[in-house]
Amino acid sequence: MTAATKILDPCCGSRMFWFDKDDQRTLFGDIRDEQHVLCDGRALNVEPNVIMDFRSLPFEDGAFKLVVFDPPHLTRAGRDSWLRAKYGILTSDWRDDLSKGFAECFRVLATDGVLIFKWNETQVKVSEILALTDQRPLFGHKSGKREKTHWITFMKRGE
């Protein structure tokens, strides 16, 4: 991490929504480092700068101005499915995992820093997820054909 690094994406996956997938201000992390060929022949590469677990981030308190938290949102997916390859999968302890993930993301976020949270509620409702943190969102937006993907913005409150 350099002094220019101000953004953390601890679940970067294949960096699907990033315009600049190599943004120099961003540290891209993930628990996975793997390559896949999708059914249509496209490559799907999960290649983080640093292997990390969002439940236990290896950074000092307040180290980032912006955190992008896009954890896996699936509780079920076929072992070799493209959905699992693309998004990852939650463990059976997903409530505890995501609660720890929120706590860690807010811990490494500077006071008044911004957390962008992305969640697809196909299998788990966003209301169940927001109940896992005591931080309250400022605003959000639904997207996608069925409006199942939520983009939610938080600003970390001071202690």
Query: Which domain does 133 fall in, by range?
Result: 7-155
pTM: 0.91
Decide if 2 is inside a domain: no
Decide if 29 is inside a domain: yes
Decide if 1 is inside a domain: no
List, in sequence order, the alpha helices (H) in the chain. Answer: 82-87, 94-108, 126-130
pLDDT confidence band for 34 (50 / 70 / 90) = confident
pLDDT confidence band for 3 (50 / 70 / 90) = low
Identity of the residue numbered 24: Q
pLDDT in tens, 49-71: 999 999 999 999 999 999 999 99
pLDDT in tens, 77-90: 878 777 777 788 88
